[in-house]
Amino acid sequence: MDKQPRIYMLHRVLKNYDEKNYYYQRQTGISWKKFIELLDTIEKKGWKTKPISALAKGYTHNDVFITFDDGYRDNIGAFDELINRGMIATVYPVKDFVLDGFSPIDDMALHLMSTPNVPKDLSLSLLGGRLKRILRGITASRYRYLRQRLFGIDVDADSTHLFIQEHHLKLYNSQGIELGIHGCSHRAFTQLSPSELNKELTENYNWIRGLGCRESMSICFPHGKHNKKVIEQSQLFGLIHLGVDCETFYPSVLRRIHITEDYCG
């Protein structure tokens, strides 16, 4: 048995590759062509896709676990393709993103993509700098206040078709696509007080159960952020914990393989 299970981390599967697109620059988007290549590779190698909950019973070197973060609507086609191939994945939708159709980081990205001549330092700050770190820890209402104060932007970007809807999640869950906890607001768990974290986990857990999920629930930490206290509190809601594609000091948090447009595996 391998030391770590083979867990793929995806966010958005977009129709075509565009190097100017924020999601490709941030490496949270892959093209449809790349996605099909990934599935073809899985089939050629004889690997078996499994839901994250199956990890409770162990895994073999032939097992592969596909995960999708946040709940983007353009992944519907990817889910259909998986089901048509007899494959399984686990989705970690963010409750507020799905119900409100709004995400602070995505809103700022959409505004920047629709604005000509954006200063390079601002774009870099959103991709991996101070602005991104700030957006990881604030509520939507706080973000809107700061957006107006700092940039003079009063109106949300059009994100009508950005996130999947509840009825889609119920449908795909009934067809074998597993659902897991990824927070309500997508704020980093390490930046929340114990009471705030308990509220996030409780509301998210109950919401996922309401969508029809009956499996033992897993938790995917928003932005991969975790510490000892977060892990201990999260164990009350799910025993399988996922991080991102980086080393962790905690063996119980499983590392994932970040699937990007240039991934070769």
pLDDT tens string 60-104: 999 999 999 999 999 999 999 999 999 999 999 999 999 999 999
Mean pLDDT of the chain: 95
Share of the chain above pLDDT 90, in %: 83
The span from the CA of 67 to the CA of 91, in Å, is 6
Q: For residue 19, what are the contacts with CB-CB under 8 A and spacing of at least 6?
A: 25
pTM of the model: 0.95
The span from the CA of 225 to the CA of 198, in Å, is 16
Give the mean model confidence (pLDDT) for residues 158-171.
96
What pLDDT score was predicted for residue 2? 66
Give the mean model confidence (pLDDT) for residues 107-122.
88
Q: What is the three-class DSSP state of 187?
A: coil
Q: Which domains does the chain have, with CATH numbers?
A: 6-101+162-258 (3.20.20.370), 104-151 (no CATH)
8 A C-beta contact, residue 31 and residue 261 = yes
What pLDDT score was predicted for residue 1? 52
Q: Which residue has the tokens 């932005």?
A: 223
8 A C-beta contact, residue 67 and residue 10 = yes
What pLDDT score was predicted for residue 248? 85
What pLDDT score was predicted for residue 46? 98
- Express each pLDDT in 2-53 by its tens digit: 689 999 999 999 999 999 899 999 999 999 999 999 999 999 999 999 999 9
- Express each pLDDT in 187-241 by its tens digit: 999 999 999 999 999 999 999 999 999 888 999 999 999 999 999 999 999 999 9
8 A C-beta contact, residue 118 and residue 72 = no
